[in-house]
Amino acid sequence: MKRILIIGGVAAGMKAAATARRRDPKLEIIVLQDEMDVSYSACGFPYHLADPVAIPRQRLIARGIERFRQDGIDVRVGHRVEAVDLAGRRATVNEIAAARDEVIGFDEVIFATGAQPITPPMRFAKGAVPVLALRSFRDADWLRELSPSLRRVAIIGGGYVGLEMAETLRFLGAEVELVEAMPRLLPTFDSLVSEAVAAHLALHNVVVSTNRRIVEVTPTGLVLQDGELIEADAVLAATGVRPRVDLAVVSGVPLGTTGAIAVDEHMRAGIDGVYAAGDCVESQHFVSKKPVWQPLGDVANRQARVAGINVAGGNAQFPGVLGSAIFRTFDLAVARTGLSFSQASASGFDPKRIAAQAPSRARYMPQSRPIDLILTVDQADGRILGAEAVGTDAVDKCIDILATATWAGLSVDVVAEMDLAYAPPFSPVMSPVQVVGEVACKDLSPRNTHGVDLAGELR
């Protein structure tokens, strides 16, 4: 009987296990997870923490350990893999609670070790306020227990997690100050997006300090490089993650240029019988064809499905990532897909940045809100290479239309003229996507003066 060892039991690990099991009921599947929970949605932590009554802890667990065991998947929580002998096909595993080592043989292995938080370098004074991360369920549990007592929280890092948690912590009644080392929030986004987010945070009384670094955590808060003290009862470190690849490295699994495990389209890690999936691997960008590291839950799921099929004798391929992502901070949604202007330039394209603002629904509908769209367009042929969107309505819809268009290789003139579904409660006569497509058509060929006619949009 073929035995599959899966190292890691969150998104990628459990998805790979479930997929392999469905595909081949005879496989022996062992999942080793160092935490005590499996199959949980880390992306849901901010919403669970904001309202643990509406979204209780167990709701974040897609499928419980017992369900997996009923399916004949041998899930072992509290087990840390110490070493993997790839040539000998065996792993040394430590049962953490019992402090006991065991050697487990396998035929094929999937590394699904995920990512881990990057902690910024800083000194800790004696009696320093707690510094929390938000990666594991244990992190979330600690923050949930602490949160009723938090009056003032400093968030380090203005990325997705920091901005989502700013909403959660304000909702819970805490004062929030956010410190970002870069000159602006979301520096990989268009500056228009950064400005919209900064304005929205100000509206919700989140104090934002950019271009500032932390040097020390003290009993009263954070000390910055310029000597200023930010008072806080606790600090949330949301300064990003890096692939968790220590075990892969010591086992001899090669990394790619991004520092994550390099895999082919079958999720094979370059050594016979060794697969990897999820936040610990790098992917090929669907547009640039270059390696990128995209540690996101939906990507992890799709990769794990491919790995799960293939360890069960199938032949699935992962087509790459587009970099599609979205998050919410308060009422504002921020989303992207494909290549940004600078990514496109760096990838050898000759891109043009096209921006337009349009109403999310028929202007006379009270729910209509302005949405800003920014396209990255290939000047050579008008193809959409990527897009960004920011606004309080229809951002998810617009970015997914544009993700589909980018995936399909559509050019801006096609997007401007295609037939989307219109009714006043859902869209203007001309979708915001078509408005920015029209603006792009006009911008790309100045002789074409039949540009967008917002005022003439009728019915």
Query: Which of the residues 37 through 66 are near its own copies (CB under 8 A)?
Result: 39-44, 47-48, 54-55, 59-60, 62-63
How far CA 13 is from CA of 31, 60, 92, in Å, comes to 7, 16, 18
Which residues, numbered 290-349, are part of the site for its own copies (CB under 8 A)? 296-302, 305, 308-309, 314, 316, 318-328, 333, 335-337
Length of the chain: 459
Q: Does 133 bind its own copies (CB under 8 A)?
A: no
> For residues 217 and 374, which CB has a smaller minimum distance to its own copies in the complex?
374
From 390, 410, 435, 444, residue interacting with its own copies (rule: CB under 8 A): 410
Q: Enumerate residues 6+ apart whose C-beta is below 8 A from 50.
A: 167, 168, 171, 172
Residue 355 φ then ψ, to 5°: -125, 145
- Residue 40: both structure tokens together: 């949980």
> Does 441 qualify as catalytic in the annotation?
no
For the bound state, the minimum distance from the C-beta of residue 248 to its own copies, rounded and expressed in Å, comes to: 21
Binding to its own copies by residue 358, rule CB under 8 A?
A: no
Total residues at interface with its own copies (CB under 8 A): 94
CB 269 within 8 A of CB 12: no
Q: How far apart are CA 196 and CA 391, in angstroms?
A: 8
For residue 125, the minimal CB distance to its own copies (Å) is 36
**Does 286 sit near its own copies (CB under 8 A)?**
yes
Task: Write out the binding residues for its own copies, residues 376-405 only, by CB under 8 A.
Answer: 396-397, 399-401, 403-405
Q: Among 388, 231, 415, which Cα is nearest to 325's?
A: 388
Can you name the residues that pair with 222 across neighbouring β-strands? 217, 230
What is the rounded CA–CA span in Å between residue 420 and residue 410? 15
Q: Considering beta carbons, is residue 126 or 450 the nearer one to its own copies?
A: 450
Of 138, 379, 408, 445, the one binding its own copies (CB under 8 A) is 408
For residues 37, 302, 47, 62, the Cα torsion angle rounded to the nearest 10 degrees is: -40
* 200 binds its own copies, rule: CB under 8 A: no
Is 23 near its own copies (CB under 8 A)? yes
User: Residue 421 interacts with its own copies (CB under 8 A)?
Assistant: yes
436 touches its own copies by CB under 8 A: no
The piece of 84-92, 202-210, 373-381, 428-436 that touches its own copies (CB under 8 A) is 428-436
Q: Which is nearer to its own copies, 107 or 400 (CB)?
A: 400
Contact 433, 401 (CB under 8 A): yes
Q: Which is nearer to its own copies, 6 or 223 (CB)?
A: 6
Q: In whole angstroms, what is the distance from residue 173 CA to residue 165 CA? A: 12
Asked if 77 interacts with its own copies (CB under 8 A), we say no
Q: Which residues contact 396 (CB under 8 A, 6 or more apart)?
A: 326, 333, 335
Those residues whose C-beta lies under 8 Å from the C-beta of residue 169, and which sit 6 or more positions away, are 147, 150, 153, 155, 176, 236
Q: Does 14 bind its own copies (CB under 8 A)?
A: yes
Is 455 among the residues that bind its own copies (CB under 8 A)? yes
Q: Which residues are catalytic?
A: 43
